[in-house]
Amino acid sequence: MINLYNAQIESLSIHRIGNKSRNEDLFTSSIPYELNDELHALLKEYFLKSFREKEESYYRFEHEADLEFHELYNCANTVFNNPSEIHEQSKKIAQLLYNQGNHPHIKSGELYVVYFDGLLVDNQKVDGLGIFKSELKHDFLQFEEKTENLEVILQQGINLKKLDKGAIIFNTNKEEGYKVLSIDSNRYDTKYWLENFLGVDIFTDENYYTKKYLKFCQDFAKDVVLPAEDKQQEVLFMNRAVNHFAKNDNFEETNFLNEVMENPELIPEFKNYKVDKAPKYKIEDLTSFPVSNTAVSAARKTIKNVINLDTNVQIKMDFINPESAEKFIEKGWDEEKQMYYYLVYFNKEEKK
């Protein structure tokens, strides 16, 4: 879990990155940029807002030979060991990014290299290295008073409400390649930013495993449980799955299946489905792992717990008290109307 609200910008370096394939220049500033309080608040929000709104999915630096040959990883090492070196390292980072601009579609723009203090990762206070790039320019109007009229001046600049590209390298898990978050709003050149420049791969921790396994269960419920049984059982299966994760610190697949799979005939189906689909989720050999409460909470928000009927009626299940949906809702068939029905039991209507 990350918390970026108390982060402070300790240093900011700004450079301009041209497109190398179009023979555009690289411009590096000679000294760091001096921030005033107003600009500090605006730029902090510009840099970090997208990361606060994004689901946590960490990356880590990776090199086919050894991390010691990863240039950006070494820049981060130098900064974390000696923060006073950040401006010189920011020039190296600018050169690394410039060298990747070998395609005419890569947009030129401004590069911001930031040293942060006060970041929280898993309740641990750490410093961080931020690398951000603004690419898209937007038109805006300025007005200037003349003797008798207002003159309209058309200018271009960046939109502080949306970050184009960005990465935060957290000073934690150094031996594993650090924990890295990435944002890329312009998807057409993802390989340029994520693979060629950052050189990262998925950080496979408990958050990653919990999220992927729950997504796998969600697709199993849709592809197998729903056709074999009905919508109610699909919802109830995911209800039980999420609650199993919520009440256990460690996941063990056999215990999970015994508790969650009410229909034993679906257990072989689950295992076969995993063999077929596991590579998509990268959980082929995953049968036990620590559970991430953060990932479970995020899953609750995305998993649908509503039965939508063709009569414009919705039945919403309760993910907190799954026994209610099983004890007080019955499904049947009405011969006279030739329609299915749900019978709902209750004592009184709640006033909310």
Residue 322 pLDDT exceeds 60: no
pTM of the model: 0.76
Question: Span 186-208, mean pLDDT?
Answer: 86
**pLDDT reported for residue 153:** 92
Express each pLDDT in 41-84 by its tens digit: 999 999 999 998 776 789 999 998 999 999 999 999 999 999 99
**pLDDT reported for residue 319:** 54
**pLDDT reported for residue 344:** 82
**pLDDT reported for residue 331:** 78
More confident residue, 156 or 113: 113
The candidate with the shortest Cα–Cα distance to 180, out of 188, 171, 189, is 171
Express each pLDDT in 309-319 by its tens digit: 888 888 776 65
pLDDT tier, 291 (very low <50, low <70, confident <90, very high otherwise): very high
Residue 278 pLDDT exceeds 70: yes
Residue 214 pLDDT exceeds 80: yes
Cβ proximity of 70 and 77 under 8 Å: no
Express each pLDDT in 91-122 by its tens digit: 999 999 999 988 888 899 999 999 999 999 88
More confident residue, 3 or 32: 32
